[in-house]
Amino acid sequence: MFNYQNLKKVLFLFNPETAHGIAELGLRILPNCRIINNYMVKRNFVMDHRLTQDILGINFPNPVGLAAGYDKNATMIKAMPALGFGCTEIGTMTPKAQPGNAKPRLFRYPEIKSVQNAMGFNNEGSAKVLSNLKKVYPFSIPVGANIGKNKTTPEEFALQDYKTLIRKFEDTSDYLVINISSPNTPNLRDLQNEKFITELFTMAKELTSKPIFLKIAPDMEIEAAINLCNTAINSGAAGIIATNTTIDYSLVPNAQDFGGLSGACLTQKSAEFFKEIAKELFGKTVLVSVGGISTAEETYKRLKAGASLVQVYTGMIFEGPSMVKNINEGLLELMERDGFKNISEVIGSDLK
């Protein structure tokens, strides 16, 4: 019987970026191995009407999605049901291909189930990603497109990068995500200001009717973050994704002094940040919680705090391909315990 913990021992012999490449190769091949793929879908994809939601006109079969950063070039979409995901987010893509930052740029902290990355939006560029997307879209689960500016694009021309990307991906995605919160592109987080956000979302709404989310960093002051989110919502954003990785290096002993931290080290910081955001924004917009989520209990807590969906990434590296199944099965048990008939009743129940 397949045992991920044994496979993980082998994968962890490789540097993290090489291991990711091996995993990507496996997931690209998986849909072509129909017997194995169908077995994994049957095993991991939890089909239960109690987990299904219609959000912004999009049907989500369960509330657990893959966060951006794992499938940068839209090469693994077809394998996502085999991992149990109810939606997936590709990217971050930039208009032009770029190699990202210098290596090494990805680091594991297995003892605390955390990762530090300074990838820098490495991707094959919007033309190649769009070509990959067209081969699979529309897909059986929602696909989001996470977009960002090129490293070489000056701040004053950033708006044009996002305009180019919205036009390219609006017809091949169910929703779009504006990424101005990665710590790995110089000065990108400087765009987390109300003037730029107003211009960006005003422009975006003129270009497309697809839902567009803003993804924010967990290192902002709460008041500033709430003001920024309100500006985005008032300018046309359909929702907020909180949060990206953190540059709070105190969370990990002997952390690198660059890049962003994710995984279990971020759980408390992300949960507390999201809770404060949700107190102000729940009911005004759609909220998605990300950061240190790997269990049904943590997912349930985020949903009750106001998240309609959660996204995971780092936890899967340590827990393996059964993680999403375990989350969804655990959610059903927690809902039954507390008398909830549908996941929609859970959303924001702590705030009602």
For residue 111, give both structure tokens.
Answer: 């003892």
Q: What is the DSSP letter of 50?
A: G
pLDDT value of residue 1: 45
Mean pLDDT of 269-274: 98
Q: Are 204 and 160 within 8 A, CB to CB?
A: no
User: Could you tell me the CA-to-CA distances from 29 to 25, 49, 176, 178 in Å, in that order?
Assistant: 6, 30, 27, 30
Domain that holds residue 246: 4-351
Residue 344 annotated to the active site = no
**CA 237, CA 176: separation in Å to the nearest integer?**
10
Asked if residues 209 and 258 have their Cβ atoms less than 8 Å apart, the reply is no
Instruction: Report helix, strand or coil for 46.
Output: coil
Position 55 pLDDT exceeds 60: yes
Q: Give the pLDDT mean for 37-56.
A: 98
- Give yes or no for a contact between 133 and 172, defined as CB atoms under 8 angstroms apart: yes
Compute the average pLDDT of residues 49-64.
98
* Catalytic site residue from 182, 235, 262, 289: 182
Classify strands 64-66 and 87-93 as parallel, antiparallel or unpaired.
parallel
Task: Work out the mean pLDDT of the chain and round it to a whole number.
Answer: 97
| pLDDT tens digits, one per residue of 315-343 | 999 999 999 999 999 999 999 999 999 99
Contacts of 142 (CB under 8 A, 6+ apart): 58, 59, 60, 65, 86, 87, 88, 174, 175
Report pLDDT digits (tens) over 83-125.
999 999 999 999 999 999 999 999 999 999 999 999 999 999 9
User: Do 187 and 196 meet the contact criterion of CB atoms below 8 Å apart?
Assistant: no
- The helix or strand, by DSSP H or E, that contains position 64, with its residue range, turns out to be strand 64-66
Reduced to 3 states, what is the DSSP secondary structure of residue 292? coil
Q: CA–CA separation, 149 vs 106, rounded Å?
A: 21
How distant is the alpha carbon of residue 310 from its chain centre?
8
What mean pLDDT do residues 70-78 have? 98
Both tokens of 72, joined, read 């940068």
- For the chain, the domain total comes to 1
- Average pLDDT over every residue of 3-19: 95
Residue 296 confidence (pLDDT) above 70: yes
- Give per-residue pLDDT as tens, 117-154: 999 999 999 999 999 999 999 999 999 999 999 999 99
- Dihedral (CA of 159, 164, 165, 167) sign: positive
Structure confidence by residue, pLDDT tens digits, 153-177: 999 999 999 999 999 999 999 999 9
CATH number of the domain at 159, please: 3.20.20.70
- Rounded mean pLDDT of 295-323? 98
d(CA 68, CA 76): 12
What is the b/e burial string over 325-341, where b = at least 16 CB atoms within 10 angstroms of the residue's CB?
bbbbbbbbebbeeeebe
Structure confidence by residue, pLDDT tens digits, 281-293 = 999 999 999 999 9
